[in-house]
Each structure stands twice: as C-alpha cells, then as structure tokens.
Amino acid sequence: MGIIVQKFGGSSVATPANMKDVAKRIVKCKNEGNQVVVVVSAPGDETDELIDLAKQITDSPDEREMDVLLATGEQKSIALMAIAIKAFGCDAISFTGPQVGIVTDDVHGKARIVKIGGEKIVKALKLDKVVIVAGFQGMDEDEDITTLGRGGSDLTAVAIATALGAEVCELYKDVDGILTTNPKVVPEAKLIRHISYEEMLEMASAGAQVVNVRSIEYAQRYNMPMRVRPTFNEGLGTMITMEAREMEKLYVSGVTYSKDEIKITVYGIPDKPGNAGVIFRAIAEENINVDMIVQDVSEEGITNISFTVGKDELKKSLAAVEKVKAKVGIKNIMIDEGIAKISVVGVGMRSHAGVAAMMFEALSECGVNIEMISTSEIKISVVIDKAKTEDAVRKLHAKFNLDKI
Ligand code: ASP
Ligand code: MG
C-alpha cells in the first residue's frame, strides 16, 4: 500500500462546503487502498487577513510574533479538515508542523526546512488514520514557530512526501494545472500535461505563481514526482518529473510574466574590482534575492549597475545599498517601479537556435522596448514597461504557436 501526499491550497478549503468536498475526495482516495497524508493551507485569504491585522497595529511587526500569528491560519484548516473527514466515517488526526517534527532554521517569515521527524505521521498511518498536517509552518531549534514563506504549504507537502517515501505528491489547486500562460491574459492558453522540474522551476521563478518555487527545487533534489491537479473537477492536471521529453519538439513551452519586481539602478560606481562584490554582499546580508543584474559599459572609469528585486524587498534593498554608498563612492540610487519581467521558457531552446531573435522580433512588432535581458540555458527574460505586459504576453504566446499544442 503506497503513501500519497495530497496538498490542498487556500481556495480549496475556503469554506466549510469546500472542506466537505475535499474531505470526500480524500476519503475516496483512502478507500481505494492508499495511505493518505494531507497538507492544507490556511482557508481562503486568511493569511492576507492576518497580515493585515498586524499591519493595522504597526508597519513593521515583530517577525517572530508574525510567525506565531500566521501559523494559526493553517491550524484552523487542519482541525476543520479532520472534523470533516471523521464526519464521513473515516478516521483522521490533525497535527501542526512542529508536532510532526518539521525543524527549520530561524529565519522568521522564510525559514528553510533542515529536518523532518515524521515519526508521528508513520505511527498514525499504521493505525489506519488519514493524517492531516498544517502546511507552511515548522519550528526552529529554540522551538519557536517559524513559517516557510508565502505559498510554503507546497514545500511542506513535498518535504513530507520525500521524508515518507511517498509515491507522488499531489498539489490540488484552483486551476486545471500548469498552462502555457496565464489564461486570464490569453484565453487560448493550453494545459501542459507533463513538464520537467527544470522547466517548471524556470517558469515559477519567472512569475508563474501556481507552484511554490522552493517546493519544486526540493522535489527535484529528491526526485519526488509532483502532480498539480484541479480541486474542483476530476482533471489529471500536470505531472512534474525529471524528464518531459515531448516538450523538446517545441521551441518554447510557456510564457510567463511578473509584475512583482522593481528595478534599482546604482549610478556612478568606480569601475574597479571589488565594488560589485561590496554592493551585492550588503544586499545578500539582508537575505534579499536579486533577480536580474545588468552592468553598463563603463565610461571614464565609472559604471552603473541595475538590478531587480521583489517589490516587498524595496525598502531593505535601498537601506543595504545606502549602507555601502560612501565606502564604494556611489553617486546616486534610483528606483523604477513601472517594470514587468516577461519570460519564455523551454528545454527546446537547447536544440533550436534563434529563439531570442524570435522573441525580440515579436516584442518589436508590438512596439515594446527591452530594458534588460537575462538568459539561462532554457529561459530568456526581458524587463519591459509594465503597461505593455499583456500585449507582449499575447504576442509571444502566438509567435511560439502555444495556442496550437
Ligand atoms: N497560507 C500561506 C500563504 O497564503 C501558505 C500557503 O498557502 O501555502 O502563503
Ligand atoms: Mg527564534
């Protein structure tokens, strides 16, 4: 009898009626002879609402106490889900993250999992119970409650699936699976049936917000098969594994975008070894992830560096650069909030030349100017004017024939 881990996101457990529907699905899976471990998110927009409550008290709430607060959302869901499953006559038990031994580092708000105990889960499964675990939370070495960053329940699910040696980790969401682009922008977007971790990772870090990025990294590291499935219908969704050969026939598998980044430009940096290191070390020390970086050609020994970070890291990033301003001799720091990042992703780029040319031509055909470019082996990203996002996405989706797969 195999173990299946099923994770249900916030919209799947938003109301008692949703919870009952989900519970029915879980009981069915159990009755088919599986051992089932369920991971749930906080109901609906509960996490946002909790953040909002704290923000009504202060702009910068204490990070440790924020985790204590946010963890309550998931705790609500596990209890209600266990109640729902039991009401259908199936035995179930709920546990918080700390109770099942999810040990993390102490970076409150985006802690990393360092260890998973899991003995409690194994014991309960042996007693034929469905086990419900709270997503998104753990505890650090001091037994302080931590959270894993937004969307972190996906990571909890994958980590538990790995620790238990589960057959598959199923992520149930309010979408049909992974699509070629956002269907709200391009109604012709198609379902991708099978995708590799690698491509999924690039798509997620480029703005496809369906699956938490760190959960994909984790699944890839341990080769845990993931399936993204719809909660509200029987669709099979998208399978994510090491290989997804059929995608190689395509130039590009998906078009994604993100409006959640801002561009910071640091002007007047003396162009000598070490200065970029000083600037980006200061940023790294604040635990800020930098995405794109572009350095201008230097003129008379002076250069400028532009980089992008997540919107919510703006304040911290500026403070970090300010700190080394005098040391480096920086003249000026500017921010641009009106940008978007558009990316095309596909393993097909390895075997097809000219994808960048096609992308840039398509953008010029719709009058879009490119401000920054970055590439990986299977992704090309550009920063453009935010107002042109939707036009650019529609154009690229058509250019790469994604409406015809
Ligand atoms: N409830 C948390 C969030 O909204 C974690 C999750 O849903 O995965 O980010
Ligand atoms: Mg602590």
Pairing verdict, β 130-134 and 35-40: parallel
Q: What is the Å distance from ligand 2's center to 124 Cα?
A: 29
Q: What is the dihedral of CA 126, 132, 135, 140, to 10 degrees?
A: -50
Best mutation site among 39, 47, 133, 231 for ligand 1 pocket (most ligand atoms within 8 Å of CB) = 47
Handedness of CA 394, 395, 396, 402 (dihedral sign): positive
* Ligand that comes closest to the CA of residue 110: 1
Which residues of 249-349 form beta strands (DSSP E)? Answer: 254-258, 261-270, 290-295, 302-310, 332-336, 339-345
DSSP per position, 185-224:
T-TT--B-SEEEHHHHHHHHHTT-TTS-HHHHHHHHHHT-
pLDDT of the chain along its 405 residues, tens only?
699 999 999 999 999 999 999 999 999 999 999 999 999 999 999 999 999 999 999 999 999 999 999 999 999 999 999 999 999 999 999 999 999 999 999 999 999 999 999 999 999 999 999 999 999 999 999 999 999 999 999 999 999 999 999 999 999 998 999 999 999 999 999 999 999 999 999 999 888 888 999 999 999 999 999 999 999 899 999 999 998 766 667 889 999 999 999 999 999 999 989 999 999 999 999 999 999 999 999 999 999 999 999 999 999 999 999 999 999 999 999 999 999 999 999 998 988 889 999 999 999 999 999 999 999 999 999 999 999 999 999 999 999 999 988
* Domain architecture of the chain: domains with CATH: 3-174 (3.40.1160.10), 263-335 (3.30.70.260), 339-404 (3.30.2130.10)
Q: Give the global pTM.
A: 0.87
Question: Tell me, what amino acid is at 181?
Answer: T
Q: What is the Å distance from ligand 1's center to 215 Cα?
A: 13
Q: Give backbone dihedrals phi and psi of 154, rounded to 5 degrees, phi first.
A: -60, -40
Q: What is the Å distance from ligand 2's center to 102 Cα?
A: 14
Best mutation site among 39, 41, 77 for ligand 1 pocket (most ligand atoms within 8 Å of CB) = 41
Q: What is the Å distance from ligand 2's center to 139 Cα?
A: 8
Task: Point out the ligand 1 atom lying closest to the alpha carbon of residue 10.
Answer: 7
Q: What is the Å distance from ligand 1's center to 392 Cα?
A: 30
